Amino acid sequence: MSKARAVALEDQPPVVLTLLAVVLVVNMFLFAVAYSSASFHGVERAVPDPFAPSKISMQFDNGISIIADNLRWSTSTAVAIMQPKIVAFLGLEGYQFGATAPHPAVLGASIVNPDYADSVSGSSLAVQAIPTLNEFSAQMGSLFAQ
């Protein structure tokens, strides 16, 4: 190769990369022809297609299921290890997780701690009886009747 040609290729990297790409494509084509014994009359065996939709979706599903299984396992392991430490840090050792408190049957009613109600009953914050739904509707009816 002449010195002028070598300098021209060294100064232009896009030309070199383009030539390398062309060489790779030509070699892949020749490999496919040799593998399949292709001629102008036909092909003895087909070249496998690794990007066929059936193969891609199967591999994608397998990959997603592996990732989901690993994520599920790591989450359950982390919860099992960290839950006692977090509960101890927050001071909730006696707390029953998932237990629900009894809910009052009357709209607007609330459950009052008896110790708190006894301590403030003499003050202006005395706990008053909460009317039932029937009493409330009767009071509202008498209000509107006037």
> d(Cα 128, Cα 109) in Å, to the nearest integer?
11
DSSP 93: T
% of the chain exceeding 70 in pLDDT: 59
Domain range enclosing 70: 49-98
139 with 131: CB under 8 angstroms?
yes
User: Are residues 107 and 86 located together in one domain of the fold?
Assistant: no
Count of structural domains, the chain: 3
End-to-end CA distance of the chain: 112
Asked if 41 and 53 sit in the same domain, the reply is no
Q: In which band, very low, low, confident or very high, does the pLDDT at 74 lie, cut at 50, 70 and 90?
A: very high
**Do both 7 and 39 map to the same domain?**
yes
Q: Are residues 67 and 89 in the same domain?
A: yes
**pLDDT by residue (tens digit) across 83-104?**
888 888 888 777 766 666 665 5
Do residues 10 and 40 both lie within one domain?
Answer: yes
Which of 59-63, 76-80, 142-146 is least confident?
142-146
Measure the CA–CA gap between 96 and 90, rounded to whole angstroms: 14
| Residue 57 and residue 89 share a domain | yes
Instruction: Point out the domain boundary residue: 9, 31, 48.
Output: 48
